[in-house]
Amino acid sequence: MRFSSIGITALVAHILNAHDFGTFAVATTAFTLVSAIGEFGVTSCLARADLDVDALAPTLWTVSLSTSWLVAGLLALFAQPFATLLGSSAGAGPIRVMAIIMALWGVSAVPTAQCVRDFKQSALFYANVLAFIPSTLVLLLLAKHGSGAMAFAWSRVAGQVVSCVVILCFTPKLHLPGMRRSALSILARFGIPLALANLISNILQNVDYGLIGHFIGPVGLGLYVIAFNSASWSTALLGAVLSTVAMPAFSRVKHDATQLMGAIGDSVRAVMLVSAPMCTLVVAVARPLILTVYGNKWAPAATVLSILAAYGIISILGQLFSSMLAALGRSRSVLFVQLTWLAVLAPAMVIGVKRDGIVGAAIAHVVVIGPIVLPCYVIMIIRATGVHVGTLVREALFPFVVALIAAILAWFTAAQFHTPSLSLIGGLSAGGLFYVLVTAPQLVQLLGEGLAGRSQVQRILRIYIKIGHTIGISMGPPPRHRRRRGARRRTWRS
């Protein structure tokens, strides 16, 4: 789904111009800033496995419908001032259209939370796939006929309608709206701080869009959007996984210290194994990637992309730690980190945009999230769980170092070609192959016992681990031995 989305964005980038992308970014910024208030932390609250869904769902459905419809009305009413403030008055139309999405969220918030809570990933997958088809058709049709930013807005609405219907069909149990004081009390203690944290998070994710649109205009914002979206491929890929899995998973093991420590280490290693190569390789081949995928008119976005890719690898770790804290009921800790982040990022972003434009905005992101935000999350995780910082570093270090070496190899290989497409293919092939070969044991463990248990794979893994011990590097956890069939039969008979 993510690769398909990248392909559609690239296709539309050849049809529309930077001004259209910037105008829609203005509409998306306005929509995103108020979406946390409309949802009001309902989905996250109900996704916690340690809370009673039957007792909470009717009240949370009432709250979700009320707040989302109210916010949708305000969004449509104040669309013009929002768009003008963010630098493009033409964004008012798309903002009004996207208010429909907010109203639909109110209908699907509780059913979506129930699917997340019960790990019904098939339902969420079908909703995404079936919504992707009409959304893409509407986008391409309207973009081809000159609708500009409105093509994006109506495509989002079409996708949300289909997604809402599918989620309602797959919901384990539909509840009618109701009201309980005890449920409101739980929502007030957990949902309100989390809604405020989500609001701050949405501001953090869009403060750069707002300032670039205000100071530079929609054309510069359009270039920045292409760079930021490309740098966020790992975040987009893993963000959906974390938002639908981390909350119910960590809330199930939070009372068992041993399982919790193991889950924290495994999750950090898994996230780094996937995100580290994606981000570092994008840094290495930023320019050929932009020229090949989006075209020559987007070339100024290459420098921004090379900087923002470094931001992507740190932000996905922050999202993981944020999900952990929310699952443990530490929504106030999440809010504290988000407030600290915003207090530092806002002035840094203003300085960066005024001095160096979209490049300055990218630099501001990196210098704030690396030395300030990520350590804050680590401190909060240590306080909440007691995990050692050495455990976090150990699980993240090996994938990162290998990904860094792979990026150097990719950059050197890409430099040998003069055609952007060949540079992109050559660089990604060399760096990607090196990364997969070196991290094979950990990747196999990540993919599951079905693959790791095969005898041929076992032999290869033992060779890897012996080589690693010889050169003093941990190549991942030792492979688990399969039981012999005879031993399994004897156990069954006994």
The string of pLDDT tens digits covering residues 228-272 is 988 888 777 787 778 778 878 888 888 888 899 989 999 999 999
- In this prediction, residue 452 carries a pLDDT of 52
> Residue 277: is its pLDDT beyond 90?
yes
Four-point Cα dihedral 37, 308, 312, 154, nearest 10: 50
Domain boundary among 367, 401, 419: 419
In a domain, 82, yes or no: yes
**Amino acid, single-letter form, for residue 107:** V
Q: Name the pLDDT band for 380 (thresholds 50, 70, 90).
A: very high
Across 128-132, 167-171, 243-247, the highest mean pLDDT is recorded for 128-132
Report the distance separating Cα 151 and Cα 235, nearest Å: 24
Which two three-digit tokens encode residue 170? 């797959």
Q: Where are the alpha helices (DSSP H) in 216-330?
A: 218-231, 233-253, 257-284, 286-293, 301-327
Confidence of residue 480 (pLDDT cuts 50, 70, 90): very low
What is residue 382's predicted lDDT score, i.e. its pLDDT?
A: 94
Residue with tokens 């306005």: 30
pLDDT at 138: 94
Mean pLDDT, all residues of the chain = 84
**Same domain, residue pair 398 and 464:** no
331 and 454 housed in the same domain: no
Q: Are residues 5 and 30 in the same domain?
A: yes
User: Which of 399, 419, 439 represents a domain boundary (last residue)?
Assistant: 419
Binned at pLDDT 50, 70 and 90, residue 475 comes out as low
- The answer to whether residue 428 sits within a structural domain is no
Which of residues 39 and 258 earns the better pLDDT score? Answer: 258
Q: Are residues 211 and 237 in the same domain?
A: no
Residues 14 and 42 in one domain: yes
Please tell me the distance from the alpha carbon of residue 70 to that of residue 18, in angstroms, as a whole number.
33
Instruction: Work out the angle between the directed axes of helices 374-385 and 257-284 (0-180°, nearest 10).
Output: 170
Residues with Cβ within 8 Å of 62's Cβ and at least 6 positions away in sequence, in order, are 177, 178, 179
Residues 300 and 176 in one domain: no
For every residue of 100-133, DSSP letters joined together read HHHHHHHHHHHHHHHHHHTT-HHHHHHHHHHHHH
Condensed to tens digits (0 to 9), the pLDDT of residues 455-470 reads 666 666 666 666 665 6
Helices (H), 328-388: 331-368, 374-385
| Bigger pLDDT: 473 vs 414 | 414
Q: How confident is the model at residue 57 (pLDDT cuts 50, 70, 90)?
A: confident
The interaxial angle of helices 218-231 and 18-39, nearest 10 deg, is 70
Quick one: average pLDDT of 27-41? Answer: 73
Can you give the three-state secondary structure of 21-50, one letter per residue?
Answer: HHHHHHHHHHHHHHHHHHHCCHHHHHHCCC
Rounded mean pLDDT, 116-132 = 87
Looking at the predicted structure, is the pLDDT value of residue 343 above 80?
yes
The pTM for the full model equals 0.77
Return d(Cα 86, Cα 67) in angstroms, integer.
24
What value does the mean pLDDT take over residues 170-186? Answer: 80
Please say if the pLDDT value at position 494 is more than 50. no
- Average pLDDT of the residues in 33-52: 68
